Structure 1
Amino acid sequence: MELSIRRIRSSGGERFVILVDESGTPLFYPALYVTVHMRGRSLAVNTVENSLNAIKALYAWQAYYDLDLESRFSQGDFLHPNEIHALRDFMQKPLVRDEQDKVVSISGRRNLVSTSNQYARLSVLADYLGFLAKQLQPSSKRDHDHVERMVSQIKANRPKKPTKSSPNRDEKHLDDAVLDSLEKALKPGAENNPAKEYAVQVRNALMFSILRVTGLRRGELLNLKVEDIDFAKNTLKVVRRPDSKDDIRAFQPVAKTRERTIPLIPELINCIYEYVLEHRNKTSGAKKHGYLFVTHKEGTSLGQPISNAAFGKFMADLKRITDNHNGIHAHALRHHWNYSFSKACESKGVTPEREEKIRSYLMGWSETSGTAATYNSRHIKEQANRAALELQNQHLGKKTPGDEE
């Protein structure tokens, strides 16, 4: 059975994610789980999709071992320890299709998924299988202890819970020289510009500039509307628009963080104004909605809001126009903004407490979330290194090689 995940947009703008078979029919229990167990908690569409990807992997595991969990659970027969171990091992590996078009796991330790991926998969499956077992176990054999024992065993087989930040996460930073070279290549009319149409070049250069100088998330960027730009006050407003009726994209970009207003320099405001006036508003279909960045390529999507896929292609193009392309993606630009912000605050003597408050506002975080410290870790390390060297110089720096005793 070939399964796929589909995104559906209702007439009211609400987004749904479902797991369907090869005929397009939704699978009953995954659909019930999403409706009853997930949507009631107002979880983000992407969170629901990640859960369905884990359940999709569960169906692949069943097919691989020729199991029918729904039939077994209806008879009160739950997973045994050896099956839970097999499930754990299967969830370590990415999935591919073999020559018979059967979903199988890739063997070999080099192909293991990340620890965080395996942990997330097993966490979802523990919850889903507990839900499924309680739905299917016969009324004559209601025994929640057996179900809870199975759920606990699955959770116990998860790898050690990963931390949110790896030791080297903040070491992979972007250099200003690389970003400068990218801006030069993206300049409309540049010889090595990856885009051919001039309007696309203007749009891409503007998107890159906004990401670089504001630290917006990609979803926040693609969610911008013309009305969010105050051309008189030189500001950009980040607005949350979940399940917007105006957004025809099934994969709707959304602002994950708090709403906020960000000041922009007049030069950038002028660039936005010129793009809207000279390119966006002259594109057929663009005036039917308010989204700032639109598709300029001829076809059925002409004038529609730029999609996540199109933005992903744009970011992929950036990696091919510079030699030092490692780490070029939207979130890396967000990290780089935070690093540059830290250096600016240090040079102006801003106190750490004040810096954290300002950073949290500009990034859309709660002041008590602790996220600001995560994004500031690279700058903190640099400060610590400088302090350590200064201490060493105080004790050893005054000595010359001939001073040894």
Structure 2
Amino acid sequence: MTLPELTRLAEAAQYRLADLADDEVESVKPQVINLHSVRRRLKSQTPETQPVDVATQASRIRYAAAYLEFLSGYFGADLPKEQRAQLKESTDIGMRALLSNMPMVSRRDKPGARHGLSPEDQNRVLAAIDPDSPINPWKRGFVRHRNWLIVVLLLATGMRRGELLGLQIGDLSPNSPKLTIVRRADSASDARMTQQVAKTNARELELRPALMRAVWEYIKVRRSIKAARRVPQLIISDEGEALSAQSITKLFADLRRACPGLPVNLTSHVMRHTWNERFSEQAEHMQLSDSVEERARNEQQGWADDSKMSKTYTRRHAQAKGRQVALKLQEALDAPEK
């Protein structure tokens, strides 16, 4: 790609796909767009066009740069040494040009920014997803049980949607209430068109025994679905296929409709925000120091360690404190009595 093409790519990243000129977007296959043909519509032609927020634009440019740099290294590996060096030099120039178009993103909290659920809304969600609740929006018993488990696991662990959907039965410890988040890129065991992978570091999470028992109870019901026996993923559809990200989106849309008054932006990621806010409250209650709380949170969420806090003894202490806090805040999330 030439430097002007890279600039056009960065420019296109600020718009929604629907706002790009239809006659100038060439679909190669579903969800794949030929970026060489993308041009934004003129504002004079579409006054209603609104750009995405700067954080989204910056993320798009950053991911595009990472992918293009990967392609360069992938194909450059088969080139002679001199040509490989030339390609590397050209790539560096191109990446600097592309990233120079990345907007600055303020780290300050903005009005309307996503937050966790209030305690009242958490209680409303938990009441609605109870499998025996009269306002539970799902009809089938398996779906009710599965969706209860999905929401409770998200609230209990703060894991991402992709981490939950990528979780396999083999990632559960058979002898202790623990599960492991594993990064699996391009996994042959994931037949979904869009594979669900962990974005953060691999890590082990401990659950309260009651919640772990609920997971194994769900697995017993899951085994009654014949097609599911060939699927390693823990969370499946009622047809026995690994559940898609779109199904999680629909789950929370159903929940919002069943409980009018819940935040309109209630999604699986709001569960992650909620976990972090509850974690901070519990850490404060336990009087953890700021440094211990930060390390404990990083360990539980799979985030990179702060380089100033990388000593082994600090990590062990933080892991113990992290598990203690994480187990304490799960007390209200035990499985309903049968």
Give the structure-2-normalised TM-score: 0.68
Q: Which residue of 2 aligns with 1:291?
A: 233
Contact between 2:61 and 2:102, CA under 8 Å: does it hold in 1? no
Q: How has the CA–CA distance of structure 1 residues 295 and 87 changed in structure 2, closer, same or farther, with 3 Å as cutoff?
A: closer
Q: Which residue of 1 aligns with 2:267?
A: 329
Q: Does 1:361 align with 2:299?
A: yes
Q: How has the CA–CA distance of structure 1 residues 151 and 242 changed in structure 2, closer, same or farther, with 3 Å as cutoff?
A: closer
Q: Which residue of 2 aligns with 1:311?
A: 248
Q: Within 5 A, what are the aligned runs for 1:211-290?
A: 211-277=154-220, 279-290=221-232
Q: Determine the C-alpha separation between the residues in 1 that align with 2:273 and 2:206.
A: 19
- Cα distance, 1:149 vs structure 2: 9.4
Q: Determine the C-alpha separation between the residues in 1 that align with 2:277 and 2:116.
A: 9
Letter of the 2:306 partner, please give it.
T
Between stretches 206-215 and 344-353, larger displacement belongs to 344-353
SS at match of 2:149: helix
Compare relative contact order (CA 8 Å, sep 6+) and give the higher one, 1 or 2.
2
Q: Which residue of 2 aligns with 1:108?
A: 47
Contact between 1:318 and 1:325, CA under 8 Å: does it hold in 2? no
Letter of the 1:113 partner, please give it.
V
Contact between 1:79 and 1:150, CA under 8 Å: does it hold in 2? no
Give the structure-1-normalised TM-score: 0.57
- Cα distance, 1:212 vs structure 2: 0.3
Q: What are structure 2's unaligned runs of at least 5 residues?
A: 26-39, 73-85, 309-338
Q: What are structure 1's unaligned runs of at least 5 residues?
A: 1-32, 34-72, 133-141, 297-301, 371-405
Q: Which residue of 2 aligns with 1:348?
A: 286
Query: Alpha carbon RMSD of aligned pairs, Å?
Result: 3.8
Contact between 2:157 and 2:275, CA under 8 Å: does it hold in 1? yes
Task: Count matched residues.
Answer: 274
SS at match of 1:285: helix
Q: How has the CA–CA distance of structure 1 residues 359 and 93 changed in structure 2, closer, same or farther, with 3 Å as cutoff?
A: closer
Letter of the 2:242 partner, please give it.
P
Q: Percent identity?
A: 27
Q: How has the CA–CA distance of structure 1 residues 304 and 353 changed in structure 2, closer, same or farther, with 3 Å as cutoff?
A: same
- Cα distance, 1:288 vs structure 2: 0.9
Q: Determine the C-alpha separation between the residues in 2 that align with 1:160 and 1:115.
A: 6
Q: Determine the C-alpha separation between the residues in 1 that align with 2:222 and 2:162.
A: 19
Q: Does 1:96 align with 2:37?
A: no
Q: How has the CA–CA distance of structure 1 residues 235 and 95 changed in structure 2, closer, same or farther, with 3 Å as cutoff?
A: closer
- Cα distance, 1:216 vs structure 2: 0.7
Q: Determine the C-alpha separation between the residues in 2 that align with 1:369 and 1:165.
A: 23
Contact between 2:295 and 2:306, CA under 8 Å: does it hold in 1? no
- Cα distance, 1:307 vs structure 2: 1.4
Q: How has the CA–CA distance of structure 1 residues 287 and 358 changed in structure 2, closer, same or farther, with 3 Å as cutoff?
A: same
Q: Which residue of 2 aligns with 1:58?
A: none
SS at match of 1:162: coil
1:42-65 deviation per Cα after TM superposition (whole angstroms, max 9, x unaligned): xxxxxxxxxxxxxxxxxxxxxxxx
Q: How has the CA–CA distance of structure 1 residues 266 and 154 changed in structure 2, closer, same or farther, with 3 Å as cutoff?
A: closer
